[in-house]
Every structure is written in structure tokens, then in C-alpha cells.
Structure 1
């Protein structure tokens, strides 16, 4: 059986990242400030840039 070993970030952490994006901080700053891997925050940033905060909050959950 295959298990999913990816780290899931809680909605509060994602909301904090979104607040920083709205204040025009880049994903590298947000990554270091919140202690989250850069690739994860970059995905959130690109999703935020494309469709807004609702898209980021829906990432990783069941649709």
C-alpha cells in the first residue's frame, strides 16, 4: 500500500502566507519567515497570482 508522506499545512499557515502575499512580499521571504519549504510557498504564490486566495486555500484538500 502506498502512503502519502507529504506534509500538509494547516489553513492558518496558508492564511498567514496569503496575508504576506497581499502585502506584496515574495514567496522567498514568506518561505523563510514561516519556515515552509520554498517550493511549497512558490506553488501557493503562483496559485494566488492566478486565481486569488480561494485557490490557495483549496489546494491539497478534497474538491
Structure 2
């Protein structure tokens, strides 16, 4: 299996800059000498998460020592109270979402009714 070449953040940022100037993916690919598919993926990432996300692509995950992992594992399971607080927060968020959804549907029905009566 052949390894794909990795490109640095400067190259990815250059692609984003050219994209902002109105260049298409194929043009950017030709100008910076990077395969089309790589540039296409960069531009999609740039459009969805911005320059910070694009610059952070390809970074390796942090490596933790055994001692650090053991210390983190000792935090243990959440208490019953913490579990219930988390559940309440989730239910409150779900409730707010449903209320917003109902309000948006009512607003849409109201607009449709006004158009029909005009």
C-alpha cells in the first residue's frame, strides 16, 4: 500500500486563499501541484469548519503516558446525582427543541393561511 503524501498547513491555507479569490478546485490543484481530490477535500473542510479546521487537518492525536491514563480512569463512574443532572439537561434540551419546532410549524401554517386568504 502506497502512502499518500502529507501536505502542511501552509499549503492547505494557500488553497483556501485561492478559493476565496474565486479559483475553482481544478485551478487550485494545478497551481499548487496537489492532486484534485486532496484539494477538493480541503475546500469542503474549509467551507464547513473554516480555516482553523483546515489548518488542523492531519494533526496527530496526543499520546498519553500509562500513568496519565490510569489517573484519568480513576475519576470513575459518575454519581447517581451527576447522572440525573445530565439526564435532566438532555431532557431540557430536547424539550426546548420540540417547543421551537412546534413554534416554527405554527408560524409556517400562519404564513400559508395568510397567503391563501389574500
Q: Larger radius of gyration, structure 1 or 2?
A: 2
Using CA pairs under 8 Å that are at least 6 residues apart, name the structure with larger relative contact order, 1 or 2.
1
The question of whether the paired residues in 1 share the 8 Å contact of 2:12 and 2:55 is answered with: yes
Task: Please state if 1:34 is matched with 2:32.
Answer: yes
Structure 1 segment 20-31 matched on structure 2, within 5 A: 20-31=18-29
Task: Please state if 1:17 is matched with 2:15.
Answer: yes
Q: Which residue of 2 aligns with 1:52?
A: 50
Q: Which residue of 1 aligns with 2:95?
A: none
Question: Under a length normalisation based on structure 2, what TM-score does the superposition of the two structures give?
Answer: 0.47
In the TM superposition, what is the alpha-carbon distance from 1:24 to its structure 2 partner? Answer: 2.1
Which whole-Å CA distance do the structure 2 matches of 1:62 and 1:22 have between them?
27
Total equivalences in the alignment:
61
The answer for unaligned runs of 5 or more in structure 1 is none
What is the alpha-carbon root mean square deviation over aligned residues?
1.7
- Could you say which structure has the higher helix fraction? 2
Runs of 4+ in 1 over 4 A off after TM superposition: none
In the TM superposition, what is the alpha-carbon distance from 1:62 to its structure 2 partner? Answer: 2.1
Question: Under a length normalisation based on structure 1, what TM-score does the superposition of the two structures give?
Answer: 0.81
Partner secondary structure for residue 7 of structure 1: coil
